[in-house]
Amino acid sequence: MGKETRKRTIHKTVRGVGNLDYVEMRNVPMTVDSELGNLIDSKTIQQIESSVAKALIQRNLPIRGQEVMYLRSILGLSQRDFAKELGLSHVAIFKWERAKKKPLDRVNEIAVKVFISGQLSLKITASLEAFVCRGMHPKRLVLDYAETSGRKAAA
Amino acid sequence: MSSSSEAKDILRLVASGVFKMAEHAYGRSIERSISRAQIIHCARHCLHHSWQESHGTYLFVGYLDSSSTGGFSAVLKDGVVIVTVFRRRLTKWEKRRVRGRSIKR
C-alpha cells in the first residue's frame, strides 16, 4: 500500500495577478503537498482570472495597454484574433499593448469593455456614458477570493 | 504504465482543464503573462513532448494561442501538477515538424 498523505489547505495572498502590479487577491486557497509545495487548482485560477476581469470592468477602472493584454490572454486570444473580434487591425492591438500605461481612447475602451463583458457573461446595467472611466487609476485593487467565489455561488 | 501513455494522460487532463499548478508555476505564469486558457490551448495544440530525466517531469511544447509558442512541464501525481510554464520560439526542427505535419493551429 502506498503511504497516505494528509492534505492541508492554506490561504495565501497573491500579488500582481495577471502581471497587473496593483492587483492583490487575498485568501487564495492552496493545498499543501509535501514534495511539490503549495498547489493551486485550475478552477481557482479561473475564478481569480475572471474576478479580476470583472472588477476591472464593473468598478469602471481605466483600460490601458497592460489591462488589454491581461483581458486578451485570459480569453486565450492572440492579438490577431482579438483585433478581428473588435474589427481592428492587429497592429492597433500591438500598439495599445506596447504603451502599457497609456489609457485607450473612449471608443476603444467601450469596445473592449463591451466585448469582454459579453465573453464573461457580465450584465451591463450602466449607460455607455457611464462605462467610460474618467478617473485616475487606483494604486491598489484588493480583492478577496472568498467574497468573489461566494458571490458567484449565490448568483 | 508506459511513459508515452502517461504523457498522453497529462495532455488529455490539461486539455480538459483538470490540473493543479505549483505555486512556483503560478508565479511564473503571472510573470510571463500566460493564462489558464493558454495552457489549455497549449495542451490541445501540443507539438511534442519529452521526458526530462534530470527533473523527473514531462516537457510539453506547443502553441499558447494561434500565434505565440511556449510550453509547460508537468508531473502526474494525484492528478496533473504543472511545475513550470514558459514562452519560447520554436526550434528549427520543431518548425520543420509543424510544416511536415501541417498542424492545424
Query: Quick check: A64 and A32 in contact, CB under 8 A?
Result: no
A73, A75, A78 ranked by CB distance to B66: nearest: A78
* pLDDT > 90? residue B99: no
Q: How confident is the model at residue B104 (pLDDT cuts 50, 70, 90)?
A: low
The helix or strand, by DSSP H or E, that contains position B9, with its residue range, turns out to be helix B3-15
Joined together, the cell numbers standing for residue A145 give 477570493
How many Å apart are CA A13 and CA A142, to the nearest integer? Answer: 10
CA A76, B8, B28, A30 torsion: positive or negative?
Answer: positive
The confidence score (pLDDT) of residue B17 equals 95
Please check the confidence at residue A136 and state whether its pLDDT lies above 80.
no
Range of the domain at B87: 3-101
Domain assignments of chain A as residue spans, ordered by start = 8-150
ipTM (interface predicted TM): 0.87
- As given in the structure block, the three cell numbers for residue B68 are 505565440
First to last CA, chain B: 30
Whether the pLDDT of residue A110 is over 60: the answer is yes
**Contact between chains at B20 and A31 (C-beta distance less than 8 A):** yes
Query: What one-character DSSP code corresponds to residue A64?
Result: B
- The owner of cell 449565490 is A154
Which CATH number characterizes residue B16's domain? 3.30.2310
Class of the CATH domain delimited by A8-150: mainly alpha
Residue A19, chain B, CB below 8 Å: the answer is yes
Tell me phi and psi for residue A55, to 5 degrees: -65, -40
Q: How many C-beta neighbours within 10 Å does residue A40 have?
A: 23
| Contact A10/B at CB under 8 A | no
- Compute the nearest-CA separation of A44 from chain B (Å): 9
Least confident of A89-98, A118-127, B84-93, B95-104: B95-104
- Contact of A36 with chain B, judged by CB distance below 8 Å, is answered with yes
Domains identified in chain B, total number: 1
| Rg value, chain B, Cα | 13
Average pLDDT score over residue span B19-48: 94
pTM of the shown model? 0.88
Q: How many angstroms separate the CA atoms of A147 and B102, rounded? A: 46
- Percent of chain A at pLDDT above 90? 54
DSSP state of A16: S
The predicted pLDDT at position B96 comes to: 84
> Does the structure show a pLDDT above 70 at B85?
yes
Q: Judge whether residue A100 has pLDDT over 80.
A: yes
A11/chain B closest Cα distance in angstroms: 12
The pLDDT confidence band at residue B4, using thresholds 50, 70 and 90, is confident
CB of A110 closer than 8 Å to CB of A128: yes
- Chain B residues whose C-beta is within 8 A of a chain A C-beta are 17-24, 26, 30-31, 33-38, 40-41, 65-68, 75, 77, 81, 83
Q: For residues A28-57, give the mean pLDDT.
A: 92
- pLDDT at B46 exceeding the cut of 50: yes
Answer for the pair A32, A9: CB distance below 8 angstroms, yes or no: yes
Mean pLDDT of A74-94: 95
**For B72-97, what is the mean pLDDT?**
92
